[in-house]
Amino acid sequence: MTTAGDPCRRCSSPFEDGDLRCAVCGAASPAPLVDDLAEATVEVLRCEGCGAAVAYCVTARAPQCAFCGSIVRLEVPEDPLEQAGLILPFTVDRSRAEESFRQWQGGLGWFRPADLRSASRLETLRALWWVGWAFDVDALVSWTADSDAGASRADWAPHAGQTELDLDGIVVSASRGLTPRETSRLLPSYDLGSAREREPGDEAEAVVEQFELRRAAARRQVRSELERLVAGRLRNGVIPGRRFRNLHTSVLARRLVTRRLAFPAWVIAYRYRGALYRCVLSGQDAACLLGEAPIAVARVLLAVLGAVLGVLGLAGLISLIAS
Mean pLDDT of 266-273: 91
* Torsion over CA: 41, 39, 222, 29 (sign): negative
- At 213-239, the pLDDT tens digits run 676 777 777 788 888 889 999 998 899
Reported confidence tier of residue 112, pLDDT bands at 50, 70, 90: confident
More confident residue, 275 or 316: 275
- At 56-107, the pLDDT tens digits run 554 545 556 666 666 565 555 555 567 888 999 999 999 999 999 999 998 8
Q: What is the reported pLDDT for 313?
A: 79
Q: What is the reported pLDDT for 34?
A: 36
Three-class SS of residue 275?
strand
Other residues' Cβ atoms within 10 Å of the Cβ of residue 158? 11
User: Is 0.85 surpassed by the pTM of this model?
Assistant: no
The percent helix, strand, coil of the chain (3-state, each to 5) is 30, 35, 40
